[in-house]
Structure 1
Amino acid sequence: MCFGKFARYIGYSLVLFAVLCIVANILLYFPNGETKYAYEDHLSRFVWYFAGIAGGGMLMLPPAFVFIGLEDDGCCGWCSCESYGKGCTMLSSVMAALIGIVGSGYCVIVAALGLAEGPKCSDSHGVWNYTFANTEGEYVIVLYLATHS
């Protein structure tokens, strides 16, 4: 049984989310719409790992296009050869899903490390450093409680 239509919807949603990840990662390079933070090396080091562009964006596009390429008639998938049939469809879907898992895993790991280290901030002396690096991510909870009290 082939679920080509459902896979196609998943593929379109993956394309949408991949584009959103790429745009969000690009916006990290321009806080407040300014380029001076990148020129003056005031961006977090995890921004330069391109997690949203590479992991959440580019590595999500192959699975998206594989899922979009699944056809209702015969379910030929990415190979689009009737002679290969469902075996090729299964293989291409699994391989595409593995690529997507690697990309999303990379994105999640870099984001978690970035949250644990915290942003690069200017301290009271005007020196840019990772002020929250030794808080093991507890600054997120403190900031949340401070804004919601």
Structure 2
Amino acid sequence: MCPRECAGCIAVSLFPVIFFCVVANLLLFFPNWSLVYIQEQHLTVEVLYLGGAVGGGFLVLFPAMHFLAISKKQYCGERCGMCLSVLFALISVLGATYCFGISALGLIYGPFCQHSQGSRDLKWGRPFEDNLTEFGPGSYLFNQTLWSQCIEPKNIVLFNLVLFTVQLGSSAIEVFLCFIQMINGLVGCICGERRRPQR
């Protein structure tokens, strides 16, 4: 497989992963499928930073479109296009890394919810934020009995876990694929334009 064809395969592989990142990020704005939490500003900063929509979405989408475009050229390795794809792949890696970092923070700090901690008064906040050093059985990530601390929105802990995990996994795949494209682009840039053999 020549660098041009490899770029096309990477682009096609990136599109569904980009879709998952963007959709997961957008869904995080609507716990319980309600607009109330946006209006009352009961969302975490990790949702508002748009890691999935911007980092894993648009910053990867346009480079992926470039990868697909250079795969349709007539030559097996167009030097200018392949060299440019290295820069685009680097932008994609940075965007996907941003998404990965924001998603990891969203998982570590936990959701923003209405909760009570030993008092009768309910308050909005992040009840799991104080236990950041506990990543064993004491962490809310591994102890489902702690999830009941969040009263509203209903099932917000599972909601956040699933969607941030989707973003985390998708952005990790994007980093891997775009790193491959950086290497592929360098190979295409060095090899130059080689015509396919006539059949």
Report the TM-score when normalising by structure 2. Answer: 0.62
Same amino acid, percent of matched pairs: 38
Counterpart for residue 127 of structure 2: 131
- Equivalent of 1:90, from 64, 78, 82? 82
**Partners of 1:22 and 1:56 within 8 A in 2:** yes
**Partners of 1:3 and 1:72 within 8 A in 2:** no
* CA drift at 1:131: 0.4
Aligned amino acid, residue 126 of structure 1 = L
Q: How does 1:117-128 map to 2 (within 5 A)?
A: 117-124=109-116, 125-128=121-124
Distance in 2, matches of 1:2 and 1:92, equals 17
Counterpart for residue 109 of structure 1: 101
Aligned amino acid, residue 141 of structure 1 = F
* CA drift at 1:75: 3.8
Counterpart for residue 79 of structure 1: none
Distance in 2, matches of 1:5 and 1:74, equals 10
**Partners of 1:75 and 1:89 within 8 A in 2:** no
Q: Which moved more, 1:51-60 or 1:61-70?
A: 61-70
**Partners of 1:30 and 1:38 within 8 A in 2:** yes
Report the TM-score when normalising by structure 1. Answer: 0.81
Q: Which structure has the higher relative contact order (CA within 8 Å, separation 6+)?
A: 2
Question: SS at the partner of 1:119?
Answer: coil
Question: SS at the partner of 2:5?
Answer: helix
Aligned amino acid, residue 73 of structure 1 = Q
* CA drift at 1:96: 1.1
Structure 2 residue runs of 5 or longer lacking an equivalent are 148-157, 159-199
Counterpart for residue 62 of structure 1: 62
* CA drift at 1:43: 1.3
* CA drift at 1:95: 0.6
Q: How does 1:1-149 map to 2 (within 5 A)?
A: 2-70=2-70, 71=72, 73-75=74-76, 85-86=78-79, 88-124=80-116, 125-136=121-132, 138-143=139-144
**Partners of 2:5 and 2:76 within 8 A in 1:** no
Distance in 2, matches of 1:119 and 1:33, equals 16
Distance in 1, matches of 2:16 and 2:108, equals 28
Q: Deviations over 1:24-69 (max 9, x none)?
A: 1111111121111111122112110010110010001122112101
Aligned amino acid, residue 42 of structure 2 = H
